[in-house]
Amino acid sequence: MTLLVIIIVLALIFDYINGFHDAANSIATIVSTKVLTPFQAVLWAAFFNVIAFFIFKDHNVANTIAKTVHADAISLTVILSGLIAAIIWNLLTWWFGIPSSSSHTLIGGFAGAAIAHAGFDSIEMQKVSKTLAFIFIAPMMGMLIAAFISIVTIMKNFWWKMLVILVTLGLTVTLIPFNDVIRWGLLIVSGIFILAYTYDHFQKTPSAYRTGNMYKKLQLLSSAAFSIGHGGNDAQKVMGIIAAALVVSGQIPSLDQMPNWVPIACYAAIGLGTLSGGWKIVKTMGTRITKVTPLEGVSAETAGAITLFMTEKLGIPVSTTHTITGSIIGVGATKRLSAVRWGVTVNLLWAWILTIPVSAVMAALIYLICRLAGL
């Protein structure tokens, strides 16, 4: 029981660290465009991190995380080792201002400890392979959606703009088998953009100031949507770890019987973490990749939110860091390719690639140390 309590406390500590490590994902663009002050931005993001509790009730991502390792290869020592490795890597990357993935850190740590415990056969490769694939697919989705929104927004002909939106929306919801939540989400997002474009078009006197102010207000909505996606995606990963520990210790019979206090505690922890901010990473995300205007901030955050909502419904634990980075690159590339600081982007890519294997090796070593210590 003592080890289980330690694991739960460490899991919530990791969730808290995840919040301030990934706070930059939700607030970097809204701070860099000066729509909100840093303090206002973290309050805004933290609030919507917690609101995600009332929206995401399926816990698809939590189930995926918990089932990354075969049930017979999970022990409390495996979970403990994975958490310690994930916390260490998250703190290291935060200290150096590297926006690595907290999600992949946790998955790598969990898998590495399980391999040290029971060998490579202990890993559920189908679930891990999906996660690995989305290291690249999620930022590409964010980049393409953000680029599309940016290109449509800067189109000069209003009626062509409306036609492109309606045709794209119609084809998307008709041809792709989304569930009702995603369909309604896409309809609402498209409706908001259509209203904004219409309002701007039919003003008698064009005003760059009025248009800029409109996108600043829209950025409040897009940032809130991304924060909800961040909370829903990332809090669930820790929920999955805690639920796995409760099953292993015999406290609950299965993952489906996860008690209500687990999601409440996880969403609260990530919200408090976001409230603490992560200013080193904010600087990297908000200014070093490309210069972001309010219009581009709306495009990037909306694209990131759409990607996170889609992948949550698919039960794929993607990185919010990767997603928003891809989205920021997408809006930068629509201006010109040289607007993106590719040197910074390449460094981020290396951090993404190394996160899972480094976390796995660290967790395996920590597991061996724990075994020597008699845990």
- By CB atoms closer than 10 A (0-12, 13-18, 19+), residue 314 is middle
Q: What is 256-315 written as a DSSP string?
A: GG--THHHHHHHHHHHHHHHH--HHHHHIIIIIS----HHHHHHHHHHHHHHHHHHHHHT
- Max alpha carbon distance in the chain (Å)? 76
**Cβ atoms 267, 232 nearer than 8 A:** no
> Which residues is 69 bridged to in the sheet?
123
Q: Which amino acid is at 295?
A: L
**Measured distance CA(50)–CA(265) in Å, rounded:** 10
The better pLDDT of the pair 340, 296 is held by: 296
The region that residue 36 occupies, defined by phi over 0 for left and psi between -120 and 50 for alpha, beta otherwise, is beta
Confidence of residue 276 (pLDDT cuts 50, 70, 90): confident
Distance from C-alpha of 178 to C-alpha of 351, rounded to nearest angstrom: 32
Q: Is pTM beyond 0.75 here?
A: yes
34-43, 263-272, 355-364, range with the lowest pLDDT: 34-43
Q: What is the average pLDDT across 129-141?
A: 84
Cα separation, 319 vs 325, in Å, equals: 10
Using alpha carbons, select from 216, 195, 223 the residue that is nearest to residue 300: 223
Confidence of residue 285 (pLDDT cuts 50, 70, 90): very low
Nearest to 184 by CA among 319, 25, 55: 55
Highest mean pLDDT, choosing among 2-11, 213-222, 231-240, 290-299: 2-11
CB of 261 closer than 8 Å to CB of 4? no
pLDDT of 340 higher than 60? no
3-state secondary structure of 319: coil
pLDDT > 90? residue 84: yes
Report the SS3 class of residue 123.
strand
More reliable by pLDDT, 109 or 331: 109
**Does the pLDDT of residue 35 top 60, yes or no?**
yes
Give residue 139's pLDDT. Answer: 84
How confident is the prediction for the chain on average, in pLDDT?
Answer: 81
- pLDDT at 114 exceeding the cut of 80: yes
**Cα atoms in the Cβ-side hemisphere of radius 13 Å centred on 279:** 4
CA distances from 173 to 145, 182, 183, 292 (A): 15, 9, 6, 30
pLDDT at 183 over 60: yes
- Give the pLDDT mean for 272-293: 58
Asked if residues 228 and 52 have their Cβ atoms less than 8 Å apart, the reply is yes
pLDDT at 87: 92
Contact (Cβ atoms closer than 8 angstroms) between residue 344 and residue 284: yes
